[in-house]
Every structure is written in structure tokens, then in C-alpha cells.
A and B are shown apart, each in its own frame.
Chain A
Amino acid sequence: MVSHHARSLAVDVPVSGTAPRRVWPRFLTSEHPFPWLAPITALILAFGVYPLLYALWLSFFKRNPITRMNVFNPTWNWGKLIGDERVWGAIGHTYLYTITALSIELCLGLAIALLLDSDRKGYGLLRALMTLPLVVPPAVTGMMFLLMLDGSFGVLSTGLVSLGLWPPQHPILASSGSALAGVLLADIWQWTPFMVLIMLAGLRALPKEPFEAAAIDGATPAQAFFRLTLPMLSRIIALAVLIRGVDLFRIYDYVKVMTDSGPGTATETLTSYAGTIYFKNADFPYASTISLFTLLLVIITSSLFIKLFKVRF
């Protein structure tokens, strides 16, 4: 099948006695993979490989704040990173954030998917409504929750305080003990529907026979869930955890908009710390090193997960 644009490139060549024969430009009829892969390869090289190599190259330089020159010193930034307490704090926050959000989103996602897994009237609309948070840009979501959690006029804060569930002298996003929970709230609101959709797809793809057999054998719904549904969904769950986990590890938008890594460093993650070093201290080599380190952690954690849970694609 060719696209509309490609079709317009074809030329009708008149052939005597027959209908005109359509001749395509050669590059559009190639059976060699190169012309088809070239555009995407170029994009990956330009926007993926080159920035990665540039960041790696940059990480081997020490920035002189006086001359602003980068001086070759391959171990400086990596040594600094190991001795930087804020990096270790950020690693802790990143893992805490990722594991907490992932657990809640997964459990909620599965629970809601089970509720929505029905062909009855109105359920389609409910499933459609579930997707709404996904179409809101994360920065906008962050701003929404920033306003809703504002200690002076935020609707959520005011509600919690009015119900006596939260002390008014400790605004959620301005207190080191609760700020991360405030940021997590935005993430969970926005990304639980993603889990719901994945789980729904998985549930709908399950064969009916084992469930019918279990029902005949007198299995309770709980038994059916733990002994049939969960094991049969395990591949889908592993895939969802992997995709969402990598996303969560790169968390930046909500933290930047809602707390700017604060109060103190209570919500500072690896990516937000890299952003701080880049934008505020203008130390581009060190910021690149932190970013590369984040990438390394993502690769190691994902690989461990794939190995431990025997994820197969």
C-alpha cells in the first residue's frame, strides 16, 4: 500500500494498444530495506545517538566557572557525582517515587479494569471517560494540582483541612514530609487510566473456558482472580510495569511545576537535580553526567526486572 503522497509521484506512461502503465520512482519500489529505514535511522542518529554521545563527551570535562571553558578531566564529574549527597538523596526519591506510584497505579488500574470489564450498556462511555486525564499535558496537570493543593485557597487542601484530616499549618506541598505525596497524587491521577487501558485489553484477551470450568468446579470469585486471572495476566502486568516504570524514573514535569524539587530537597529526583544543575548553576558537563547516570540506572533496573520476572517479548 502506498500513501497518497507517494501515489502522486507516479507517472502514467502511455503504452500503445493498452491502458497506460503506471511507473513508480525507483526509490519507491526498492525491495532493499535501506531507503525505507534511512529516514528513521537519520532521525534516531540526529535526536538519539548524537545527543547521547555528546552528553558522554561532555561528561569528561570539568567546567571552569571563571573562564567558562570546559577542561578535559575525565574523572572529575563522575567522582563528584559519587561524593554528591544530593545525588544519593535524589536516587532515593526517584526509587521511592517510582515504586510508590507504580504500585498504586498498578493496583488501582487492575481494580478499575476489573470493574469496567463488561459489555453492559454505558461501560463503553465509562472506559472513554477514563482516558481523559491522559490527554492533558503533564505540566498542565502539575499546575492544576499545584492550585488544588495550595495552602491558602486550594480546593483539596481546604477540603482536607475542613474535614480535620490535615493540619492547616502544614501546607501539603510546602512540608517536607508530605510534598512527595502531593506530587504523587498528580501522577496517579493522570497515569492510572493508562494502566486501566492496558489491563482492560489483557482481561478482554483472556480465554473464557478456564473461568467457566472454575465456576462449574465451585471456585469463588476471589479464587478465580488469584488462581486464574492474575497468573494469566502476568505478562501484561510485567509489560505495563516495565513501560510505566521507565516513564516514572524520568519524572520531571510534576516536580518542576509543583515543588521545584523542594521543600529543601524533599522531592528532588535525578532528572530534576540534573535540571537544577543545568539551569541554575549552568554546569552543563555535570548535568550531562547526572543524566547519563540516570540512564544507566534505568537500564540496570529494567534489566534486573526483566531477568527476575522472566519478561518475554
Chain B
Amino acid sequence: MSFKKFDQQTFIVDSANAYTNRQISKREFLRRMGLAGVGFSAFSLGMLGNPRGLRRGSMLGTEAFADGLPDNQAKWLKEVGSKFKGAKIRYSTESTPPSVVLNQIKKEFTDPTGIEVEVEIVPLEQVLAKATQDVQGQLGSYDLYYLDQSWISMFQPDCIDPVAYYKEKPELAMPDFDWDDFSKPLVQNIAQVEGKWMGIPFDIPIFTLMYRKDILEKHKIAVPTTYEDFLAAARQITEAEKGNGVFGTGLQAKSGHYSLECDWSQAVWGHGGSIFNKNKKFSGNDEQGIAGLKWYQDLLKVSPPNSTASTWDGQFEMMHSGQVALVQSWDEFFPGLDADDSKVKGLWEPAKPLTAKKLRSPSDAGFNEQPNLGHQGGSCISLSKYSKNKEAAWIFMQWGCCKEIMTRCTLLGGFAPMRNSSFADPRVKAKAKVGPGTTRHLETVKWVIDNAMATEPHMALWAGLSTNEIPTELGKLLTGQAYDGDPKKCMDALAKDIDAKVKDAGLL
């Protein structure tokens, strides 16, 4: 049907008449209206400008550091991998920097082996839903899983222990893989549940302190080291700079989002509390928990109002655009702050996370929770028990996690590696200067990983609690929807709800 054949006026009115007389369906009606308006809509969409890109990803893949695998590993890849030529493996993952890089360089795996790799990059909650459906039906739709540390215990029965598999299948084992090279704290907190390997550590965003040295120098403020110092500095900067559009700090306090739970749990740990106590009861409502939440509420008062609508992306934007001066958050932001398009290139500095007066001992917390100074949001890559291409997927997994590829991922994105050798790699050290994909924050990150890494509880309900119940109730409190600003009321309500769910699940 050509629009030119119709008078525009008659066409639209006739179509509307036909629809109300039920001569055409709603779908057909909308299609005709679309036909009439498509030219204008294309124009209007064009006028909207370019969508915001993934800033942290914008510098990925800009430099080639392809030294290639060592000879013995390259030979292994070709000889062993090519036995599975034609196989196709699937991996569903969140858009994390290593996943993005791996997706970009997967051709280097496919060319020598003939194994096709489909990397499906989707939002975090969809990764969880897809993996859950896959394991519940034991479908084997995905050969490899991306497992966030907050879900890991939920998938305990569904993953193959990679170290055991490495030993069981020597004919498939990559030479010089070097399991001992992986950072031990990362293995324990990201890849193991009750001592069993669930996968290989793959990504480690972790909380560090980041500050604008120019603003701190301008106001003669020392780099804060305690929670009290941080709040005082943020207040001072907001009061002095608010007129210039600069705030002391910015938060990732979006209601109902995991980012808010991350901020909150760090505040609780930093005030000597924990999410669960040793009796496996929710303890966000104890004295320390309330102190942490009060501190966070005070911090929100000196943050940009949009903090309650921001996730980690929004928080990064605040830093990248020069809107905030102090942030305790994900180290992954750092390379983007030194990118060429950053308004604050070279002005941010990394520092160790804020110290707590007293940390709660892990033995006094529940579900293997590790209260500490640096909240980690790591993930591991795991081999599915239900995979129909286990061998091919296992070869890809070893390739993606070998020393050379992991180091290259760091070099391409500037984010923290999983292997000690990558931290020490001269190429990584050479990039520790201001510029896109900088690695100048990695020394601090290594310190946090080795000395102060905090981990959320490992329990089957945690995926839901951390992304729904906790951040939703916190959101109600922080935006004034409920609890009249009283943190105790909010935490008591949450404790009642969570304790009931834990009991119902048989976890007590």
C-alpha cells in the first residue's frame, strides 16, 4: 500500500473510522498510522541526538596488546581445540569490562579452534533469570554461566569444579595454567562456596576511596580516612561549592537497585555491623546497623538530589562530569575518569577505603558474610553441569582465564585483574599513568583485595534480597515514601520480612 495513493487526510480519518467500526484490527490501525507518520518520526528521533554510550566501555579495544599466547599454549589451543571444530558454545553475561573485552577478542579463539562462541550480553537481572531457568530445567542452553558473587551459592549444585575437572581431563588441560597464580582472597570470596570451586574468578569491581585532589587542596581538606572525616569533608565541600554545581559526594542510591544495597552494606560494615548475625538473623536493625544507615542518610543530604535516581552509571557520570569531589565506590570507574573525554582527566586520585572504628568479625556474622572495608562485586565464570558442549566450553574457559588473555583484558580496559602475575606484568605497570585505560589505581585495588575485601552473605535467597527487598525498603526510607525518616523503623520492618523468608526457606 503506497501512502502516495491516498490523500493524507482521508487516509488517517478513514483508517480511524474503519477501526472504530471494527473493520480493521488495532494492530493494522497502528500500522497505518505508523505508515502515515514514519517520516516525521524518523526526523524527530534524529533530532534527539546520540544516545549516551557506555563510558567505561568507550575506551575498550582501542589498543592492541596482542603478544599472543606462549608457544605451548598456542599449540595446545590449536591441537586440542580443533578436535571440537564446529561446536558452538553460549555464554550469558552482564556487560562487565572483561566480558566486553572477551567478546571483542573471541575471534582469536575461534580462528585456531573452529569453535564458535556466542556471548550474550544482557542486564544483570536477565542474566540471573536466564541462568535460573536453565538450571531449574537442566536445559544446557548455556554452556558457561556468569555468576555474580551475590548469587553464587544459589548455583552450587549446577557448576563443575574447574580444578577437579582440570585434573580429571588431562587431555584437555591447558599447559602452565597455574591455578596458584589466582589471587587467593578472590578465589575464596568469589569462586568458592564452602571450599568448593564454583568457577574461575573473572571480574573484581571493589570499593576504594576516590577524591578530587584539586578540590581538596583548594579547601585545605586532608584525604579522609574515617567515616566521620568523610562526612565532614563532604559537608564542607557542598557548602562551599554548591553554588558552582559541585557537591561533596554522590551516591548510587537508586531505590530498588542493587547499587543501593552495596552502598548501604558498606556503611553498615564500616560502622561495625553486619547484614546477618551469627544466629542467621538480619542484623541491619542493631545499633551498628542503624549507625551506618544514619551516616548514609546524612551523606545523602550533601549529595546531588539525583543520587536517589542513580545507579553506578549515574554515580560515574557525577564523577566524570566534575559534579562531585569525594566518592567511596567501585574502582572500575577509575580508568574512565582518565579518559580523553573526561572533564576531570588526571584530577581524581585513588586511596584506601575508609577505616572502621571496629569491624565485626566474620564469625559473628551469618552465612559466610565477611564484613570489611572494601565491598566487592566480583563474579566468576562457571562451567555448566548441563552443558552439551562441556569440552569445547572448558577449552574456551581456560583460554579466557589464562595469564595472557586476563592480562590483555586488563590492558585493554584498565580494570583489576584476577591473577597476581597480571598485577606484576610490566605492560600493566607501564600504563600506571594518566590516560585512557589507566592502571594507576591498581596498586590501591591490590591492597584492598589482599587486606580489606568485604563479601556479602552467601545464601540462596541473597540474589532476591539484595536486589529487591533491601533496596526497595531503603528507597522508601530515603525518598520519604515511608518510615518518616526513621532508620530503625525501616530496618525493623526489613528484619521482620527477611527473617520470615529465611525461616520459610529452611535456612535457619
Contacts and interface: CB of A to CB of B under 8 A. Distances in A.
A66 B507 contact: yes
Interface stretch (A10-18, A28-36, A98-106, A132-140): A132-140
A51 interface: no
A264 B20 contact: no
Nearest to A136: B41
A204 interface: yes
Contact of A68 (B33, B136, B317, B468): B136
Interface string A88-122: 00000000000000000000000000000001000
A200 B34 contact: no
Contact of B481 (A140, A265, A280, A281): A265
A202 B20 contact: yes
B407 to A, nearest CB: 35
Given A66-B506, A278-B129, A262 B472 contact: yes
A313 interface: yes
Contacts of B478: 263
Contact of B9 (A124, A197, A262, A278): A124
Interface in A260-287: 260-266, 276-284
B30 interface: yes
A129 B41 CA distance: 9
Contacts of A156: none
B342 interface: no
B505 interface: yes
A140 B48 CA distance: 11
Nearest to B479: A263
B480 interface: yes
The range of chain A's interface size is 35 or more
A282 B463 contact: yes
28 contacts: A65-B154, A66-B460, A66-B506, A124-B9, A128-B9, A134-B30, A135-B33, A135-B37, A135-B38, A136-B45, A171-B308, A174-B306, A174-B308, A176-B476, A201-B20, A236-B20, A243-B26, A261-B472, A262-B256, A263-B256, A263-B308, A263-B479, A264-B255, A265-B481, A276-B256, A281-B468, A283-B464, A284-B133
Contact of B125 (A66, A152, A280): A280
A173 interface: yes
Contacts of B235: none
A136 B72 CA distance: 54
Contact of B40 (A123, A132, A280): A132
A239 interface: yes
A198 B304 contact: no
A302 interface: no
A51 to B, nearest CB: 15
Contact of B135 (A68, A169, A205): A68
B17 A280 contact: no
B461 interface: yes
A128 B8 contact: yes
Given A124-B12, A152-B304, A262-B254, 5 more contacts: A135-B33, A202-B20, A243-B26, A264-B476, A282-B132
A207 to B, nearest CB: 14
Interface string B469-481: 0001101111111
A150 B481 contact: no
A239 B20 contact: yes
A91 B478 CA distance: 23
B305 interface: yes
A310 B101 CA distance: 61
A168 interface: yes
A170 interface: yes
Contacts of A282: 128-129, 132, 463-464
Interface of A: 64-66, 68, 119, 123-125, 127-129, 131-132, 134-136, 140, 144, 150-152, 168-171, 173-177, 197-198, 200-202, 204-205, 236, 239, 243, 260-266, 276-284, 313
A205 B304 CA distance: 54
A209 to B, nearest CB: 19
B128 A279 contact: yes
Nearest to B467: A280
Given A128-B37, A264-B476, A65 B20 contact: no
Interface of B: 7-9, 12-13, 15-17, 19-20, 22, 26, 30, 33-34, 36-38, 40-41, 44-45, 48, 125-126, 128-129, 132-133, 135-136, 154, 254-257, 304-309, 317-318, 323, 460-461, 463-464, 467-468, 472-473, 475-482, 505-507
B99 to A, nearest CB: 19
Nearest to B473: A264
Contact of B255 (A66, A170, A263, A313): A263
Contacts of A144: 48
A153 B181 CA distance: 46
A171 B26 contact: no
Contacts of B30: 134
Given A124-B8, A173-B309, A198-B20, A264 B132 contact: no
A263 B474 CA distance: 9
Contacts of B8: 124-125, 127-128
Given A132-B37, A266-B481, A276 B468 contact: yes
Contacts of A65: 154, 460-461, 464, 505
Contacts of A128: 8-9, 12, 36-37, 40
Contacts of B468: 276-277, 280-281
Nearest to A272: B256
Contacts of B463: 280-282
A151 B309 contact: yes
Contacts of B20: 198, 201-202, 205, 236, 239
A264 B13 contact: no
Nearest to A275: B125
Nearest to B306: A151
A123 B255 CA distance: 45
A236 B317 CA distance: 48
B305 A200 contact: no
Q: Pick the most buried of A65, A129, A140, A151: most chain B CB atoms within 10 A of its CB.
A: A65
B50 to A, nearest CB: 12
B306 A265 contact: no
A177 B308 CA distance: 13
- The 5 nearest A-B residue pairs measured at CB: A124-B9, A264-B476, A262-B255, A201-B16, A281-B464
A262 B45 CA distance: 27
B22 to A, nearest CB: 7
A131 B479 CA distance: 37
A134 B34 CA distance: 7
A101 to B, nearest CB: 18
Q: Pick the most buried of A135, A198, A200, A236: most chain B CB atoms within 10 A of its CB.
A: A135
A313 B22 CA distance: 9
Nearest to B471: A262
Contacts of A281: 463-464, 468
